[in-house]
A = this chain, B = another copy of it.
Amino acid sequence: MTTDSNIIPSLHRRTPPARLQHTPFEPVCAIFRQYLRGQKQKFTPERAMILDAVLRKQGLFEAEILVDDLKKLGYRASRATVYRTLNHLQDAGILKQVFFDNKQSYFEVIVGGQSNDYLICIASGKVIEFSSQRLKKLRDEICAEHGFEPIGHQFHIYGLCAEGRCKNDKK
């Protein structure tokens, strides 16, 4: 009860330095553990570390960035494990995968299942997140018209932000 070992599995695997110094996360951790239990899967230190790193992110992030983040945090987890865990977190309903381009995909913490929408500036690359009740309502109406049961959605608007408009004046 004194160490965090009752929450986080012992973190000694093949490499020593990796270590979670704190109780990594709040109720999300519980969600993940419950999900894993249901799948007869294990809550390993690697998974704990990855979840911790994920929960530090704001908005969208790439898998590769997360790999770097882990290194910077002093955690150790192979690229393969990161990818595998991201998929699990998605299945657990904690993350959502988002597609913008054909190079890579992005992830976003959703936890509750809320979905965010984006304005993406094609000039500056800036991504503005927004959330709209009207959009959700419209979505449900459209689904109803098509006998479709919505689970999630993504709404990406491509264009120019104020800044991008300036940068792009040549065009």
Interface residues of A (CB under 8 A from B): 97, 99-102, 104-105, 119, 121-122, 128, 130, 132, 134-135, 138-139, 142-143, 146-162, 165
Contact = CB atoms under 8 A, between A and B. Distances in A.
In the A-B complex, the 5 residue pairs with the smallest Cβ-Cβ separation, listed nearest first, are A99-B99, A150-B159, A102-B105, A151-B159, A153-B157
Given A99-B101, A100-B99, A153-B158, A119 B135 contact: no
A149 B160 contact: yes
Nearest to A153: B157
Contacts of A146: 119, 128, 130, 161
B159 A156 contact: no
A150 B134 CA distance: 18
A156 B153 CA distance: 5
A76 to B, nearest CB: 25
A132 B128 contact: no
11 contacts: A97-B102, A99-B100, A99-B101, A119-B142, A122-B151, A132-B142, A135-B138, A135-B142, A150-B158, A153-B158, A154-B154
